[in-house]
Amino acid sequence: MGRRWMWINWIAAVALLHTFSANAEEDLRAEVAAMKQQLQKMEALQKEVSALRQERIAARPIAESKADQAIDAKYGPGASAVSKKGKLTLGGLIQIWYYGIQNDNLGFFGDLTPDAPLGGDTNETKDNDSFRVRRTQLKFTLDLNDYVRGYVMLDASRDALSFPSLNSNLGTALRGRTNEGSSAVTRVRSGENGAGRFFQDGWIRFRKILPHHEVQIGQYKPFLGEEGIRSAAELDFAERSLIGQTYAKRDLGLTLLGTWWDDRLQYQAGVFNSAGNHHGSSGDYQNRSDDNDEKDIALRLQVRPVWKDRSWGSLELGASTQFGLHGEAGNPSPDGADTGSDPDNPVDGLNLRRTWASRHYAWLYYAPGGPVRGWWLRGEWGWMKDRNAPASVRGFPQSSGTLVQDAPNPFSTQGWYFATGYKVGDSIWAGDVPKAFKNFEFVYRYETFQNVTVGDLVRPETRTDVFATSIHTAGINYYISGHNAKVQANYNWVNDPDEGNNAEARGFREVRNDSFIVNFQVAW
């Protein structure tokens, strides 16, 4: 029995093994067949993709194929544009305004005299509500290598001249009345624009020549003050203060820049053409040759004793100065008695008397930390001294065309502002308020600046008297995406200067020129 059972077990095992082997072989054959079907499908799909690609190439112009290949190679947010050599970064800024100004047809220097070409002052060209494209900046930065950087900024909106100045529609320099036949009126009537200011910045910077130092040469804003050189995209208000606007102007020159301790200490020293004068009566500094052989020296120092500390916040202090000789080939007579001081008889083609000119600025910024974080304060002061261009300032009465300054003496003007704000998104309440409310910032500024310059009552041909305008500005900023997308709304309460008891003698009057500005901004 034992041997019989042994044979039976062997036979059963062999039969079972044969069955398993047959089943495994059948499964393997099925798996191979399935893989063959998948390969056939993949080959068909590959042929279809290849056909579609060929069809796309045939439909696309050959001239675009290389550009498309370059874009396909690197494309997307944060990627650099392709350039022949180096890294090219593109940027830009668009600011679109709507503003409204109180309507007052009479200007600062009194009533109009009907049918008189020099009769009084008009405000009709400066009080119209309007849309405006304030800035359209295109920025190109090329990092050629670790040592050389180039920068170009263009702004097509800068040739517009018929828009009124804000925050005060009297502007940063009021030197006489605007009569019905003046160029300001003509510009508004005809839509005339000015000389090209399309080209704004163009400079080359050499880096790593010395540790912590760089050298910049070209056209740009001299490193003076704080608000004037701050990016227009990062302003706390729709427009800079009056004192900020006076030095937010470009010039041609060279600057040595030093930076230490993670930007906690910064200083700049430069030389600039500084053509014209600081009072602006000889035009802008930019896009022009120098009008004398001398160069201005510009120095700036900025320190941050505390910066981005959660408890103590951020503190910045700074001061800057610029000085040099302006003018040449003008009459040296201090009282203007000689005929060479006559603007109709210039010396050697120019009538720019040599003048020691200077301007100085100081500023402070503090954003405390701790329980009051989100709150910030700024303040800035500026002072400048120079000589106006001949015949740019009128004396009194304003209706006379003969009382102009043929030989103006140097004089100084100054101004300052204080600003404060509270940004909800940076405050301790940021986590407790609705998400939309976190984007709000509430701001206020008080400013004063001696923007009105007129001839002296006794010696109007040589002496200049100055008077200050003061402005209160309240505003709300709404940050959609930081400074890259925001809306700003400002209301300006403008107080024009009056000289009290002498207002009647000078013809001053308070113009109703409060204004409201809404700025829509996109930056990239």
Encode pLDDT of 190-238 as tens digits: 666 655 678 999 999 999 888 999 999 999 999 999 999 999 999 999 9
pLDDT given for residue 391 in this prediction:
81
Q: What is the mean pLDDT of the chain?
A: 84
> Beta partners for 411?
386
Burial of 44 (0-12, 13-18, 19+ CB in 10 A): exposed
- The torsion defined by the Cα of 105, 109, 111 and 115, in degrees rounded to 10, comes to -90
Q: How confident is the model at residue 155 (pLDDT cuts 50, 70, 90)?
A: very high
H helix count then E strand count, the chain: 5, 16
Q: Are 120 and 178 in contact (CB under 8 A)?
A: no
Domain 87-523: give its CATH architecture: Beta Barrel (2.40)
User: Which of 60 and 505 is assigned the larger pLDDT?
Assistant: 505
pLDDT tens digits for range 95-126: 999 999 999 988 888 776 656 655 678 898 89
The H-assigned helical ranges of 122-236 are: 183-190
Contacting residues for 109 by C-beta, under 8 A, at least 6 apart: 120, 121, 176, 177, 398, 507, 508, 509
Compare 332 and 321 and report the one with higher pLDDT.
321
Q: What is the pLDDT of residue 338?
A: 46
Give yes or no for a contact between 217 and 184, defined as CB atoms under 8 angstroms apart. Answer: no
**pLDDT, position 460:** 82
Residue 335 pLDDT level (bands cut at 50, 70, 90) = very low
62 pLDDT above the threshold of 70: no
- Bridge-based pairing of strands 296-309 and 130-143 is unpaired
CB 299 within 8 A of CB 305: no
Query: Which residues does 179 contact at the CB level (< 8 Å), separation at least 6?
Result: 117, 118, 119, 120, 121, 122, 185
24 or 409, higher pLDDT:
409
The per-residue DSSP string of 66-102 comes to HHHHHHHHS-STTPPBP-SSSEEEEEEEEEEEEEEE-
* CA–CA separation, 95 and 485 (whole Å): 10
The span from the CA of 288 to the CA of 284, in Å, is 8
pLDDT, residue 340, reads 44
Q: What is the pLDDT of residue 524?
A: 95
243 or 20: which leads in pLDDT: 243
- The answer on pLDDT for 379 being more than 70 is yes
What is the sign, positive or negative, of the torsion defined by CA atoms of 218, 219, 220, 222?
positive
Residue 63 pLDDT class (50, 70, 90 cuts):
very low
Mean of pLDDT values over 128-144: 96
pTM for this predicted structure: 0.81
What's the confidence (pLDDT) of residue 339? 45
pLDDT, mean of residues 369-379: 96
Segment 447-463 shows an average pLDDT of: 90
Determine contact, residues 482/141, Cβ cutoff 8 Å.
no
User: Tens of pLDDT along 245-304?
Assistant: 998 899 999 999 999 999 999 999 999 999 989 999 888 888 889 988 999 999 999 999
Q: In this structure, are residues 287 and 280 in contact, taking their beta carbons and an 8 Å threshold?
A: no
Residue 402's closest CA among 342, 352, 357, 447? Answer: 342
String of DSSP letters for 274-296 = --S-TTSTT--SSSS--SSS--E
Lowest mean pLDDT among 7-11, 139-143, 395-399: 7-11
The more confidently predicted of residues 440 and 209 is 440
Quote the pLDDT of residue 364. 98
Residue 446 has pLDDT above 80, yes or no: yes
For residue 20, what pLDDT is reported?
47
Token readout for 47 is 């042929």
In the predicted model, what is the mean pLDDT of residues 465-478? 96
For residue 394, what pLDDT is reported?
79
Position 395 pLDDT exceeds 80:
no
